[in-house]
């Protein structure tokens, strides 16, 4: 975190700093250094290490897993756009659904709120319940809990909408009951 904040600093984002780093990385004395030579223990074991310029070694670092199969990978940027569109759609939908209570707006609001909650819970589980920390079983159980909570939430909201008074009318009934003064006898 501190390193990423350092790299976002104004001094590190300047053109002069970038030019100096590129010049340092492409110098002939450093360009023919092997990656294995930076690790003394490995350099003893590997005699015929392939020469890799430092600049190429830095560019090849990845923070995500390398795709191992030839099949087409998922485009997560489209999911990001959909998540933001759902969040933006909730802003006008919630007041409209509260002002015009009907099953259509209640159903749409239930689906969008449940999807928004699912993506938030899923992001927390993926980010914090990692295989390296908890083993292979607990992350799967946590994702199962997320799916169960999501399905139960959507089912409960649909039950409220189609078999009871609906989400918006339920909200107004709770709001009305909160404003009533309590009589003390």
> Given a cut of 80, is residue 57 above it in pLDDT?
no
In order of 17, 20, 27, 84, the CA distances from 24 in angstroms are: 11, 6, 6, 40
- pLDDT for 102 equals 94
Choice among 30-39, 144-153, 176-185 with the minimum mean pLDDT: 30-39
Residues of the chain within CATH 1.20.1300.10 domain(s) are 76-179
Domain at 76-179, CATH class: mainly alpha
State residue 180's pLDDT score.
Answer: 74
User: Which pLDDT belongs to residue 145?
Assistant: 97
pTM: 0.57
For residue 77, the Cα-to-chain-centroid distance in whole angstroms is 11
128 known ligand binder: yes
- Per-residue confidence (pLDDT) for residue 49, from 0 to 100: 46
> Given pLDDT bands bounded at 50, 70 and 90, which one contains residue 77?
confident
């Amino acid at each position: 975190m501190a390193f990423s904040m350092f790299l976002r600093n104004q001094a590190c984002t300047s053109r002069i700093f970038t030019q100096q780093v590129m010049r340092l990385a492409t110098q002939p004395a450093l360009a023919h250094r092997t990656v294995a030579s930076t690790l003394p223990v490995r350099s003893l074991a590997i005699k015929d290490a392939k020469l890799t310029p430092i600049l190429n070694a830095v560019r090849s670092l990845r923070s995500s897993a390398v795709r191992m199969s030839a099949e087409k990978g998922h485009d997560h940027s489209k999911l990001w756009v959909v998540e933001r569109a759902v969040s933006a759609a909730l802003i006008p939908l919630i007041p409209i659904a509260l002002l015009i209570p009907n099953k259509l707006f209640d159903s749409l609001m239930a689906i969008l709120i449940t999807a928004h909650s699912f993506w938030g819970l899923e992001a927390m589980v993926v980010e914090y319940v990692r295989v390296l920390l908890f083993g292979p079983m607990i992350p799967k159980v946590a994702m199962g809990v997320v799916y169960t909570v999501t399905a139960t939430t959507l089912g409960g909201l649909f039950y409220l909408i189609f078999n009871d008074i609906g989400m918006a009318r339920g909200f107004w009934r709770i709001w009305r009951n909160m404003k009533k003064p309590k009589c003390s006898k």
